[in-house]
Structure 1
């Protein structure tokens, strides 16, 4: 049991229960520990653990694990009791920042300019738009005219026509559509010509503090915990713990026998 506890020591306490809630993960962990133990016993029998360099490496690994434990301790010092009042203050300063953004659901027809000339594409797009303005079923027009391969699965629908990942010209055209059923002018992008129809526009929706409380606390706590660790490291850096030049030179010539004690040439100086 202690070996299992030790194997999980580097895992945050709130994640251990979830990890150990899987019989398969437990079996894999136990198998790995048993194999490692067997291999370690073989290494000891061969007296590999008595190598001074190996012992130094073990000490360094121990120091690294202690460093990680200290970081976890420093992070734990930032408790929810400290964070929650700050989270409430952050929400009150700018509640609009936590609103659900508005969106516009649209359908579009794409006439691409890769398989035809620009003039041909524009003429075809104008014909499709004229039919849309005349009231023809837009989904049928998508099927008939659109070169967008995704039309087979979505009938040309884009749930958020102002969302990320869409080209600026397309988004700008969608923003100008105000009424349900409104048809855009031809919109030229790198993909070709688009005809866009507004299906629905959903306004931004505000959220109460209780709606977003857990998210704000989590985000703020993680940031404060990271800062706590960084501040401690910065305090150590302020002590000016620098290596002596003669030690740096000695190590360099030890691992690079052809090197001299002079500084290596700067990149591009030769």
Structure 2
């Protein structure tokens, strides 16, 4: 009597802990939740989200989840749990689950100290480089002659005067989408621009323009280099999480290999093909 009452209270508490907004459907008293739907979606498309699907797609998933509950009930009613094949597969699943949970615990127990991470960073600082970037502007026109005229206008200028005049001409003459913003292309890395443009802009010095029109499939460019940010070593704090994750994985792999080696030494392993026992 007491046991029944206690069980009922536990079930009630579990039901209360589940938010009503999480429940999509109830089938024969069993709740189907948004989490169940997301698991179903993730199994088919890892990067998809149930909440982002169209209404028709969500309805289809609900139907599959309803069927899953009903088929599970039917299978149990027909005694599938006593079927030898079911028992065999259940043992396989239990074995895989046991290994997975055990592996996770081994990984969770791996601790990498700050000093270990710092030492790795200092020894491998060349692997944590921030790529060089450029900040440039351009004026895009249709003909080589138009580009050359702009270059001829800008050539005598320097410093702030050159920058201001370039921005002015970009706003009034550039046919590119960046024209209204003074030809500003923002910051970019090597290889992000088309080859001819990339070669020309990376050859420039800060505050200088290209002295010849640069031809690409878009037209003819006049380029102004605002700033060049040289390659630099990333700060330790920025890469610390990445380093710790790498070292944890490395230590975990070594640990598992050592445990496997010791277990194999103690085990009796029979290989029919080699016709010998390993002990």
Q: Same fold (TM over 0.5)?
A: yes
Question: Quick one: structure 1 residues 39 and 214, their matched pair in 2 at CA, closer, same or farther if it must change by over 3 Å?
Answer: same
Contact between 2:196 and 2:216, CA under 8 Å: does it hold in 1? yes
1:213 and 2:240 correspond? yes
1:159 equivalent in structure 2: 186
Among candidates 73, 77, 84, match of residue 41 of structure 1: 73
SS at match of 1:194: strand
2:204 alignment partner in structure 1: 177
Structure 1: how far apart are the matches of 2:168 and 2:24?
55
| 8 Å CA contact retained: 1:132, 1:141 | no
Q: What do residues 34-81 of structure 1 show as CA deviations (whole Å, max 9, x unaligned)?
A: 977776334311323333333333333223322322331332343223
Alignment-derived partner of residue 52 in structure 1: 84
Given the alignment, which residue of 60, 69, 78 partners 2:101? Answer: 69
Helix, strand or coil: the match of 2:244? Answer: helix
User: What aligned pairs does 1:89-104 form with structure 2 within 5 A after superposition?
Assistant: 89-95=119-125, 97-98=127-128, 100-104=130-134
Given that 1:167 and 1:189 are in contact with CA atoms closer than 8 Å, whether structure 2 keeps it comes out as: yes
Aligned to 2:224: 197
TM-score, normalising length from structure 1?
A: 0.57
1:123 and 2:145 equivalent?
yes
**Could you say what the CA RMSD is over the residues aligned between the two structures, in angstroms?**
4.5
**1:78 maps to which residue?**
110
CA contact (8 A) 1:109 1:195 kept: yes
Residue 146 of structure 1: aligned partner? 174
Task: State the alpha-carbon separation in 2 of the partners of residues 174 and 240 from structure 1.
Answer: 67
Distance 2:240 2:198 in 1: 31
If asked which structure has higher relative contact order (CA below 8 Å, sep 6+), I would say: 1
Q: Any gaps of 5 or more consecutive residues in structure 1?
A: 4-21, 113-120, 245-270
Distance 1:197 1:212, change over 3 A: same
Q: Distance in 2 between matches of 1:96 and 1:190?
A: 37
Q: Determine helix, strand or coil for the equivalent of 1:166.
A: coil
Counterpart CA distance in 2 for 1:189 and 1:243 is 65
Distance in 2 (CA, whole Å) between partners of 1:92 and 1:109 is 44
Aligned residues: 213
Q: How far apart, CA to CA, are the structure 2 residues paired with 1:74 and 1:44?
A: 36
Any idea what the Cα deviations from partners look like across 1:114-168, whole Å, max 9, x if unmatched? xxxxxxx32232233334436573234334443434555x543223243452234
Give the match for residue 88 of structure 1. Answer: 118
For residue 105 of structure 1, report the CA deviation from its aligned partner. Answer: 1.0
Answer 1 or 2: which has greater strand percent. Answer: 2
- 1:183 deviates by 0.6
Contact 1:128 1:145 in 2 (8 A): no
SS in 2 for 1:92: helix
Query: How much does 1:91 deviate?
Result: 1.9
1:77-100 C-alpha deviation (Å, 9 max, x unpaired): 43223xx44322222224454454
**Pairing of 1:181-260 with structure 2 (within 5 A):** 182-185=208-211, 186-204=213-231, 209-210=236-237, 212-225=239-252
Distance change (3 Å), C-alpha of 1:100 and 1:58: same
